[in-house]
Amino acid sequence: MFWYTLACVFTLCALVRARDPVNQWDVPDFYFSGVSTFAHLPHEKCLVQEHTDFDVAVLGVPLDTAVSYRPGARFGPRAIRAGSARQTVFRSFNPALGVNPYVSKTKFLDCGDIPVTPFDNELAFQQIEDAYDDLLHRNVPQGPGTISALPSRTKNGKPVHFAKDKKQHPRMAVMGGDHSIALPILRSLNKVYGPVSVLHFDSHLDTWAPNQYGAASRGTGISGYTHGTMLYHASQEGLVSNTSMHVGLRGLLSGADFEDYRRDASLGFTYLETWEVDQLGLDGTVAAIRERLGDSPVYLSIDIDVLDPSIAPGTGTPVSGGLTSRELRSIIRMLSGINLVGCEVVEVSPPYDTNGEVTALAAAELLYELMSVMAIHPLDKVTVEPQARPPRPVSAAAPPLAEARQATLSWPLLTLVPAVSAALATVLTMRLLSRTTSPVKGKTA
Ligand SMILES: [Mn+2]
């Protein structure tokens, strides 16, 4: 009977072990391990895997053949992925916004890069538009616990739909690439949403007309489509609402007057120069942006050269006197709730970055703030309630400072006690010894 029972127990144990799904290697990557994807997110070649669904896709667009000065932004997506290495599922809670975007209802996926040709910009723009079209029409995840299961956002009792087809579309967080990629992206977004407000963080206007930007006087005309003219074309093509805005301008203007700003205004933009951001402070800056955007659908475009070159040197056309990454991260958080239809961080050019890869880090963490904002605010759905911050201890609850000081001060004195005692004992012994011997010596003397 005993042996029979023992055999049964062993068999049961073996069965349980066989069914145990735990694999010792099935753990998240460390910051420094694993194949490099944005924030260690799962990666799929979404353009090849036609049935992939997601709420937000991270997408690289490694094109840099439309720059006017230093090239290298084709290596941007690769560098930004490396710069995001310390964002992981298990440590990405955003205390300022009360959300971990990667542990939320929003399904994020790294969709890899659009394989753009480096040899033909006309074809490259078409490839970007086609790829963006494709991904923009993918299904978002369905079922319990997903974003699509949330109630619709309503205004005056009616559901809010931003897309012309009234459907929910996924959003792309793009890693450039030079800034020209915004044009094919805006062409694609226009088909789904109509014209959008472009919220453009940049040290440069990027609304220059081709003849002001060194376009070739002969040829196909593609030389007029560059990283300094794409917003001119976007506006001319009707892709941009007249509620658009530049923030962080400080680049030099053309000619001998304000003609650049006059033309810019006619293209649907207003602006805040960097020194005006200083004057207004973060609250005033964000209020001005919100007033401009209103309830419109917004494409948020960050040229990394909006940051100061001391913070983001790895870019093609740096301009001194820029924003800090702290300021821009705060501005993005404070803009939480605007109707983002997509976003991009462009012009990261790793050949000019430092050994510490500070530009790539700044870009990756700006994207992280955007991910957090997107996780809280789905476009057509109600806001996902962020975690409430627990009450933090105030000074009255902390140990009294005087007591704490006394405690730290008394310790060095206490350590002196054995040393002082030993010294006293030695002196006393010496004195006793000298008393017992000196009388004898005195007598003999
Ligand atoms: Mn730019």
Taking only the tens place, the pLDDT of each residue in 304-353 is 999 999 999 999 999 999 999 999 999 999 999 999 999 999 999 999 99
Taking only the tens place, the pLDDT of each residue in 221-232 is 899 999 999 999
Taking only the tens place, the pLDDT of each residue in 182-237 is 999 999 999 999 999 999 999 999 999 998 888 877 766 899 999 999 999 999 99
| Four-point Cα dihedral 207, 213, 216, 217, nearest 10 | 80
* Sign of CA pseudo-dihedral 54, 60, 63, 69: positive
Query: d(Cα 145, Cα 365) in Å, to the nearest integer?
Result: 27
Contact status, residue 336 vs residue 376, Cβ threshold 8 Å: yes
Query: What is the H or E stretch that residue 147 is in?
Result: none
Residue 22 — pLDDT band, cuts 50, 70, 90?
confident
Terminal CA-CA length for the chain: 102
Identify the weakest region by mean pLDDT among 16-20, 36-40, 186-190, 328-332. 16-20
CA nearest 336: which of 385, 373, 388, 281? 373
* Per-residue model confidence (pLDDT) at position 375: 97
Contact status, residue 60 vs residue 128, Cβ threshold 8 Å: no
In percent, the amount of the chain with pLDDT more than 70 equals 84
Cα-to-centroid distance, 265 and ligand 1 (Å)? 17
Structure tokens at 251: 């680049």
Query: d(Cα 211, Cα 233) in Å, to the nearest integer?
Result: 12
The single-letter code of the amino acid at 346 is V
The single-letter code of the amino acid at 146 is T
Contact status, residue 63 vs residue 181, Cβ threshold 8 Å: yes
* Per-residue model confidence (pLDDT) at position 400: 65
Cα-to-centroid distance, 366 and ligand 1 (Å)? 16
For 42-66, the DSSP string reads -B--TTTSTT---SEEEEEE---TT
* Per-residue model confidence (pLDDT) at position 442: 40
Do strands 269-273 and 244-249 pair parallel, antiparallel, or not at all (unpaired)? parallel
Taking only the tens place, the pLDDT of each residue in 273-287 is 999 999 999 999 999
Cα-to-centroid distance, 227 and ligand 1 (Å)? 6
Q: Which residues pair with 240 in a beta bridge?
A: 196
Cα-to-centroid distance, 55 and ligand 1 (Å)? 27
Cα-to-centroid distance, 179 and ligand 1 (Å)? 5
Residues with CB under 5 A from ligand 1 (ion): 179, 202, 206, 303
Cα-to-centroid distance, 299 and ligand 1 (Å)? 14
For 75-140, the DSSP string reads GHHHHHHHHTTT-BTTB--BTTTTB-GGGSSS-EEEEEE----SS-HHHHHHHHHHHHHHHHTSPP
The single-letter code of the amino acid at 122 is E
Cα-to-centroid distance, 306 and ligand 1 (Å)? 8
Query: d(Cα 351, Cα 354) in Å, to the nearest integer?
Result: 8
Residue 27 — pLDDT band, cuts 50, 70, 90?
confident
What is the pLDDT averaged over residues 66-75? 96
With vertex at residue 302, the alpha carbon angle to CA 316 and CA 131, rounded to the nearest 5 degrees, is 90
Q: How many contiguous H segments (helices) and E segments (strands) does the chain have?
A: 10, 10
> Is the pLDDT score of 434 beyond 60?
no
Identify the weakest region by mean pLDDT among 163-167, 176-180, 366-370, 390-394. 390-394
> Is the pLDDT score of 74 beyond 80?
yes
* Per-residue model confidence (pLDDT) at position 215: 80
> Is the pLDDT score of 431 beyond 80?
no
* Per-residue model confidence (pLDDT) at position 426: 63
* Per-residue model confidence (pLDDT) at position 75: 98
Query: d(Cα 91, Cα 26) in Å, to the nearest integer?
Result: 17
Identify the weakest region by mean pLDDT among 3-7, 116-120, 306-310, 312-316. 3-7
* Per-residue model confidence (pLDDT) at position 228: 96
pTM: 0.85
- 281 vs 401: which has the higher pLDDT: 281
Could you give the domains of the chain?
45-376 (3.40.800.10)
The single-letter code of the amino acid at 331 is I
Cα-to-centroid distance, 274 and ligand 1 (Å)? 15
